[in-house]
Chain A
Amino acid sequence: MKIRNKPGGVLGIVAAASIVALSLSGCVRDGAGQGGGGSSTSPGITDTSITLGVTTPLSGPTAGPGTCTVAGLAAYFGAVNAAGGVQFGDGKKRTVDVKSYDDAYDPQKSLSNFQQMVADNVFAVTSGLGTPTNRAFRDAAISQEVPQVLVMTGDPLFSDREESPWQLGFVPIYQNEGAAFGKLLAESGAQHKVAILSQNDDYGKGYVSGFKEAIGGAANVSVVGELTYEATDTSVDAQLTQLAASGADVFFNAMSITPLVISSLQKAQQIGWKPSWFLPSNTSSPTAILQPGGATAYPGIYSVSFSKAPQSPAFAKDADVVKFLADLKQYGNYPDMPAFPHCMWSYMVGATLEEAFKKMTEPNRDSFMTALRDIKGLQAPLMLEGTAVDTTTDGQPAVSSVLVQKYDGRGYTTAEKFG
């Protein structure tokens, strides 16, 4: 051991020093690290182009939805660029570049990616998936005054203007989705016993707290069982067995893992438990989840949504859906039918950003944020009738209106009442 270390030690130090020396040969500090606001031109925007950055999981367990968050955005702006670009509010026409970075759902890496984006002169960070990964660089984005907007997390913190002046969430906060279903159930008037299963993190907790708040005053709804599971679990059979024993007629399942939802749908009917289900917006795909799960065995599968489901036969010929799928294939490098709604969501993020670009009067981040916070009633492509982008309400993300839908064996139809 000793012999091995000695020369290595010294040479190693030399090696380390040479790393530093190499870096020294790079540019000398000009104080570009901080700031970015002001009335002048911000980094990442020229007279002909603007650069957006996305840090999102592109490898690891959450890579499925993660790749979608990039693909949808790239698809939208790919099509826009092909048509010549966006006419900005300052009169210039610019193309939109999207740079993506893999953070593998690791907060440390997302911060590193953010720092890299600052060095790479990215105008704004957008569309990235994940609560911890977005939180990890939220403070840095605030202090460097870099927009971190329309991110894919239902964490309410990102839509709190005082706490998060440079942030804005895109998807409805989890609480809203849970509450929408809770309200429907409470208004039904009939007696219901509810079993709850939720993911053991802010995602699951958000859904459950929204739901419970909505049924708070209702005498006709009681919670008879409440369990959690881990996102890394391979099976939730034990939870289902336990919940089935509670005799509930409504099953509120705040679950974000596709195979677990499928196997839950199969398992519950095997053990003879056939309640009405509630499923979150990101795990209620008719073809990818409900069909293989045999969902027609249940009296009702309810979900919330604000986007058209391309898989659903009802929308197969819809103009938005056709264009979306074509763009996704051509510009998003995503030839398959998307199994995750994040592809649609990030496409809408693209439309929302374009709207903000059209409104921003100066080529800087301040003007962008002002424009972004002033969008109301925008019917982005793929949005369902009755929902719209509204960025003007403090405490709410860009999309806060959701519709409760019921599965009809092929796709979804809007549910006015429970049952």
Chain B
Amino acid sequence: MGTFIQLVVDGLATGSIYAALALAIVLVNQATGLINFAQGGMAVLSAYIAYAFTRLGLPLILAILIAVVVSFLIGAVIERFLIRRFEGGDPDTAVVVTIGLLALVTGICAVRWGYNNLAFPSLFPLTSVEILGAVVSVRSLATTVTIVAIMVALQVLFLRTKLGLALRAVADNPSSAALSGLPVGRLLMVGWGFAASLGAIAGVLVAPQLTLTPGMLDTALVYALAAVILGGLSSPIGCVVAASAIGVLENLAAVYVPLVGHDLKIAVPFVLIFVILVIRPQGLFGRKVVVRV
């Protein structure tokens, strides 16, 4: 039983890594209607920026805040000067552009900071506490709490604020949003900026555990995408729940289902996605969209 609870707790901790990135993907999708493959790469760049500022002697929290602000600008600039060209075009092309962006950003990090694993300082101590007989590290506990806070903030942003409504309107239908007087271009920039800032937070949250390398979030990206689809593209809560569920189920299946084992546990979330989407095509928490002919 002790092992079981520990596995669940471990799964939640791993899930929080996926959730951090998944939230950024949901945000950019809600704000621009695009899936951004470069989200992980941009988050890594943000973490490197924070790292560079700590090396200059700034306190960690200040370095992170600067990275968050700089990332907002980077995100907005990328939207304005790169992604803007592909808005309203073939969505496949836009996705491929983000793939190119991923390669570019990863390459820039590699040239500037090299491929060595860099130790990134953590905001939280490396101690652990016992809950229900399971050992939880304070670091992953704090990560989870931060992510839940961001999730709530996003939910409020999208559903309760004017800005959130405007962002969604632009993503949903840019031409009618423009007709109703919304500054479409600026809102798209803001959406990308927010997502990049959120990515920065995600990056600095997971960097202490994964250590900073240019490809730090490459694997997590796949899981984050899975969580996003599973939770429903429009729901921050959904994707956090889905990410946690993926982390936990993966662990349990690996340990308790001999056929799965640790090598094939990555199949678990995808089988799960498949089953759930057949039953609920809009994802666990997503909104239904009606299509017009």
The distance from the CB of B64 to the nearest CB of chain A, in whole angstroms, is: 20
Bound-state Cα–Cα, A12 to B220, Å:
40
Bound-state Cα–Cα, A228 to B264, Å:
10
List residues of chain A with CB within 8 A of the CB of B114: 67, 336
The distance from the CB of B209 to the nearest CB of chain A, in whole angstroms, is: 6
Is A249 interfacial (CB-CB < 8 Å)?
no
Q: Which residue of A lies closest to B139 (CB)?
A: A266
Is A270 interfacial (CB-CB < 8 Å)?
yes
Within 8 A of B (CB), among A240-269: 241-242, 245, 258-259, 262-263, 266-267
Is B54 interfacial (CB-CB < 8 Å)?
no
Within 8 A of A (CB), among B227-277: 250-251, 254-255, 261-263, 266
Q: Mark A267-300, 1 if CB is under 8 A from B, else 0.
A: 1001110000000000000001000101000000
In contact, A259 and B17 (Cβ under 8 angstroms):
no
In contact, A234 and B219 (Cβ under 8 angstroms):
yes
In contact, B211 and A258 (Cβ under 8 angstroms):
yes
Is B3 interfacial (CB-CB < 8 Å)?
yes
Q: Which residue of B lies closest to A230 (CB)?
A: B263
In contact, A59 and B137 (Cβ under 8 angstroms):
no
The distance from the CB of B20 to the nearest CB of chain A, in whole angstroms, is: 12
Is A326 interfacial (CB-CB < 8 Å)?
no
List residues of chain B with CB within 8 A of the CB of A66: 115
List residues of chain B with CB within 8 A of the CB of A229: 262
| CB contact between B10 and one of A60, A238, A266 (< 8 Å): that residue | A238
27 pairs, CB–CB < 8 Å, chain A vs chain B: A59-B106, A59-B110, A60-B215, A66-B115, A230-B262, A230-B263, A232-B219, A234-B210, A235-B10, A235-B13, A237-B10, A237-B13, A238-B251, A238-B254, A238-B262, A241-B10, A245-B3, A259-B117, A259-B211, A262-B211, A266-B126, A266-B137, A270-B135, A272-B135, A292-B211, A294-B126, A338-B116
In contact, B116 and A336 (Cβ under 8 angstroms):
yes
List residues of chain A with CB within 8 A of the CB of B107: 59
Bound-state Cα–Cα, A72 to B104, Å:
26
In contact, B255 and A238 (Cβ under 8 angstroms):
yes
Is A314 interfacial (CB-CB < 8 Å)?
no
Is B119 interfacial (CB-CB < 8 Å)?
yes
Is A398 interfacial (CB-CB < 8 Å)?
no
In contact, B262 and A288 (Cβ under 8 angstroms):
no
Is B146 interfacial (CB-CB < 8 Å)?
no
Q: Which residue of B lies closest to A60 (CB)?
A: B215
In contact, B3 and A339 (Cβ under 8 angstroms):
no
| CB contact between B3 and one of A230, A242, A262 (< 8 Å): that residue | A242
Is A200 interfacial (CB-CB < 8 Å)?
yes
Interface size on A, as a range, is 35 or more
Q: For the complex of A and B, list the 10 residue pairs with the smallest distance between their C-beta atoms, beginning with the closest.
A: A237-B10, A64-B115, A238-B251, A259-B211, A339-B116, A270-B128, A63-B115, A235-B14, A258-B117, A241-B6
Q: Mark A19-54, 1 if CB is under 8 A from B, else 0.
A: 000000000000000000000000000000000000
The distance from the CB of B186 to the nearest CB of chain A, in whole angstroms, is: 34
Within 8 A of B (CB), among A373-399: none
The distance from the CB of B51 to the nearest CB of chain A, in whole angstroms, is: 14
Q: Mark B1-25, 1 if CB is under 8 A from A, else 0.
A: 0110011001101100100000000
Q: Which residue of A lies closest to B220 (CB)?
A: A234
Is A216 interfacial (CB-CB < 8 Å)?
no
| CB contact between A241 and one of B7, B209, B210 (< 8 Å): that residue | B7
List residues of chain A with CB within 8 A of the CB of B219: 232-234
Within 8 A of A (CB), among B103-121: 106-107, 110, 114-117, 119
Bound-state Cα–Cα, A292 to B210, Å:
12
Is B218 interfacial (CB-CB < 8 Å)?
yes
Bound-state Cα–Cα, A239 to B209, Å:
17
